[in-house]
Amino acid sequence: MRATPERATVGKTAISWIAAVAVALVAAGAARADDAPHAKFGIARADGGDMGFSLKAEVDCAPSPGPGRVQCVVRLRPVGGTLHFSDALVLSAPPFAPPVRDRVAVRDAKRSDGAGADLPLVLAATGDGDGELYVLARATVCSERGCRPVQGEATARVVVGASNESR
């Protein structure tokens, strides 16, 4: 069968109509999701308001007398709910003390009761020095309103051997 100009026009019109209906359906679905009461909990609003979920993260590293293992702990405390999953990623570490693992998760936690988690983080110091450790903590915080992903950053001073301030 040969395509005639009339058939080509009808085909283009049908495709345009189907595309317009698809766009309208997608837009209607997105609008309904925005109106749903549970869709906005735990996320920042356009007016800058906070919906109540966040994560408090702290990291602390014990000073080390010399090269070797440097013990750190990342403390995570949820705000607005309970902690259901968490991990911490090392964003940067001093060159003299790289992390043994770049990521620690809740299964490694010493304390994980929903109210918080203490994640152990170990650095492998190859020499003396003084520097900053930067960590990104991520978690899922849940309440009766639902669950939301949250994150927070923390820093700690890493001291191995004699501090740069005392030299």
Where do the structural domains in the chain lie, given as residue ranges?
5-35, 54-166
Q: pLDDT per residue over 25-65, tens digit each?
A: 555 554 444 444 433 333 443 444 445 788 999 999 999 99
Q: Assess contact for 72 and 59: CB atoms under 8 A.
A: yes
Q: 152: which residues sit within 8 A by CB, 6+ positions away?
A: 54, 55, 56, 57, 76, 136, 137
pLDDT tens-digit map of 93-109: 999 999 999 999 876 45
Report yes or no on whether pTM surpasses 0.75. Answer: no
Between these two residues, 104 and 113, which has the higher pLDDT value? 104
Q: What is the pLDDT of residue 45?
A: 39
Residue 101: its pLDDT value, please?
94
Q: How far is CA 67 from CA 38, 115, 127, 134, in A?
A: 51, 35, 5, 20
Q: What is the 3-state secondary structure (H, E, C) of the chain?
A: CCCCHHHHHHHHHHHHHHHHHHHHHHHHHHHHHHHCHHHCCCCCCCCCCCCCCEEEEEEEECCECCCEEEEEEEEEEEECCEEEEEEEEEEECCCCCCECCCEEEHHHCCEECCCCEEEEEEEEECCCEEEEEEEEEEEEEEECCEEEEEEEEEEEEEEECCCHHHC
CATH architecture under which domain 54-166 falls: Sandwich (2.60)
